[in-house]
Amino acid sequence: MKQAAKVMTLADIARLAGVSESTASRALRDNPVINAQTRQKVQQIAADHQFKVNATARSLRTQKSHTIAVIILFDAKTQQAISDPFLLDILGVIADELTAKGYDMLLSTSKTTDKDWRSYYFDSKRADGLIVIGQGEHDARVDQLAAAGVPFVVWGATTGTEPYPVIGSDNRQGAQQAVAHLVKQGCQRIAFLGDIRHTEIEMRYLGYQDALQAANIKAEPALQLNTDFTAQAGYLQTQQALFSQLSSLDGIFAASDAIAMGAMKALLEHGIKVPQQVAIVGFDDIAMSAYCTPSLTTVKQDTHAGGQLLVAQLLSRINGGKAASQLLPVKLVDRQSSLRNST
């Protein structure tokens, strides 16, 4: 069977599909303005004829880079890195979604990028929009983006007052579920490990307090420890700050799975049995949480839905549509690290 001749121009694709060049161009970018049937028809014709969009020519013509910048918002003091399992999980979803929509992803961190994000990304045509992961210590650059009116979305915690769209998990509810679970297992002295300077962790801390208050348990300042996102930080805080409390401590709620695993290692090195003596719950449900020993009870965030929403909301803004903040539900996943009771 004779192979179809290779079509070299967008005009040829449009002619074969019976649509205008602008419609064909939007269809190839999977723009939702074009109905699904037309998009599928144009994309199939392009595939049959091995048509590839000339990215350089398209960028010159449209003044668009067809690139989305993803900024991981670290504060200067944190030891957290892009290799953090939770970050890798949500970044993978974002990358897949952007690829499916015809966009490239430019990944950077707030430690390396310019102070003026509008100038660096938008005025220079490096990116058509931004996805910011995390809100750090209430970084002023995010507020500057909002004031500039450029398209961006944030993964983090929403209070309902931000002048920009935020997609994130119900951190407060998840933490409340985690600590209520520890109370149900018989825990009365429950430590909190996490850095409340970060908005998401602050909400988890409030959920921790909610659960203690509901159980009529007095919150103890000595058990509320500022802890970085890493396993090493969880390990060191448990070895050092919690060491004097180990005789009466019976529960730990860690603001991330990495912190929880570090804490658990420190306890086991001191001969403390988990969960019989100290029960532990983390937050995130990273892949390795199911495979450590004992397996880690945690609060699952829906990173798949989160990554999809971030891309969808940002592309809506880029195309002139609206975007709204959204709070995603979380789920407590019971595993060995907390289950003292069989009922």
In angstroms, what CA-CA distances link 332 with 21, 257, 309? 50, 13, 22
Same fold, 67-168+302-328 and 171-301: yes
DSSP secondary structure string, 96-149?
HHHHHTT-EEEEEETTTS-S-HIIIIIITTS-SEEEEE--TTT-HHHHHHHHHT
CA dist 217 and 180 (Å) reads 11
Q: How far is CA 173 from CA 94, 208, 220, 227, 259, in A?
A: 25, 9, 21, 21, 19
The partner residues of 77 in beta bridges, in order of sequence, read none
Which amino acid makes up residue 8? M
Residue 79 to residues 122, 133, 172, 225, Cα–Cα distance (Å) = 29, 16, 24, 16
| pLDDT number for residue 142 | 83
Q: What does the block give as tokens for 128? A: 């058509």
- φ/ψ of 124, rounded to 5, equals -85, 0
Q: At what angle do helices 21-28 and 10-17 cross, to 10 degrees?
A: 100
Superfamily assignment of 67-168+302-328 in CATH?
A: Response regulator (3.40.50.2300)
| pLDDT score of 282 | 98
Report CA 269 to chain centroid distance, whole Å. Answer: 32
CB atoms within 10 A of CB 60: 10
Nearest to 212 by CA among 246, 261, 175: 175
pTM across the whole model: 0.79
Q: Residue 343: its pLDDT value, please?
A: 42
Residues 6+ apart with CB under 8 A from 149: none
**Domain-by-domain residue ranges, the chain?**
10-53, 67-168+302-328, 171-301
- Burial label, 305 (beta-carbon count in 10 A; 0-12, 13-18, 19+): middle
Q: Looking at domain 171-301, does it have CATH number 3.40.50.720?
A: no
Gap between the Cα atoms of 26 and 23, Å rounded: 5
Non-local CB neighbours of 24 within 8 Å, separated by 6+ positions: 10, 13, 14, 17, 42
* Pair of tokens at residue 185: 């297992």
pLDDT tens for the 343 residues of the chain, in order: 445 555 568 888 888 899 988 888 888 877 777 888 999 998 888 888 887 666 555 544 545 668 999 998 866 555 555 678 888 899 999 999 998 888 899 998 766 556 688 888 888 888 999 999 976 555 677 888 888 889 999 998 887 788 889 999 999 999 999 999 999 999 999 999 999 988 899 999 999 999 999 999 999 999 999 998 889 999 999 998 888 887 889 999 999 999 999 999 999 998 999 999 999 999 999 999 999 999 999 999 999 999 999 999 999 999 888 888 999 999 999 999 999 875 4
Q: DSSP for 226-244, please give it.
A: ---SSHHHHHHHHHHTTGG
